[in-house]
Amino acid sequence: MRSPSPLPAGVRPPVVELAAVELTYPSVPPVAAVRSCDLTVRGGEYVAVVGASGSGKSSLLNVLGLLDRPTAGRYLLDGVDTTGLPDAERTALRAHRIGFVFQAFHLLPHRTAVENVMLGLLYSQVPRRRRRALAAQALERVGLGHRLDAEPTTLSGGERQRVAIARALAVQPSLLLCDEPTGNLDSATARTVLDLIAGLHREGVTIVMITHDTSVADGAGRVVRMRDGVLTQDRTDHVRSTAS
């Protein structure tokens, strides 16, 4: 197995470094969802992982999000080798360093926008007295500073996804993971959400987006394709990096 290379003094580690990572589900027969994947994502990059249903991209996201533990290989997050960490330490690392945006918004319908964002801070050890201010700042960042007290049932689909993005951003994560973030939106609304994600990238947010739609991946600086659990690089543009 290839091990991540040591970095020179003063150089920040990549946000994500996968080395020969595999994920096999224990069934009969076993299902190899991720096969010997190598992937490096540096600070400020915007990477799209494109693949058809069943290609393994959601399993890859579960590994990146510390939801599933690899069955082989190593996963370093901000230079921390997560592979052998106890579950409690993995949970803490996920709460502090990873933000999730899903296709389904996962908002509580009878909580306001700001309260939904505050819920994302529960496990990040942010003092209660600071949670509302941080949640309001995150909503302002996604253009919803005027809808703090609106309940999700009064928001459009695009606004609900913006609340979900604000919830992910409130913890100031090292990595923003987006899983088919426009899957429940019409094409016009999807474009506004993708523009928002691209704007976050320009601000220096590190983003990995999972999608089956090549047009959704167009805004990414790097596109990798996944097929039968294997990653291959498809396109690389000049991307902003803060890893110096």
For the chain, list the domains and their CATH numbers.
Answer: 44-68+85-236 (3.40.50.300)
Euclidean distance between CA atoms 22 and 184, whole angstroms: 30
User: pLDDT per residue over 150-171, tens digit each?
Assistant: 999 999 999 999 999 999 999 9
Distance CA 187, CA 195 (A): 12
78: tokens are 């901000």
Query: For residues 78 and 181, what is the distance between their CA atoms, to the nearest angstrom?
Result: 24
Distance CA 160, CA 148 (A): 12
Per-residue pLDDT tens digits for 84-125: 999 999 999 999 999 999 999 999 999 999 999 999 888 877
* pTM of the complete model beyond 0.95: no
Alpha-carbon Rg of the chain, whole angstroms?
A: 18
**Cα 225 off chain centre by:** 17
Residue type (1 letter), 118? M
Any idea what DSSP says for residue 27? Answer: S
* Residue of 49, 41, 52 lying closest to 18 (CA atoms): 41
Q: Which of 144-153, 189-198, 228-237 has the lowest mean pLDDT?
A: 228-237
Comparing CA positions, the residue from 221, 179, 189 lying closest to residue 202 is 221
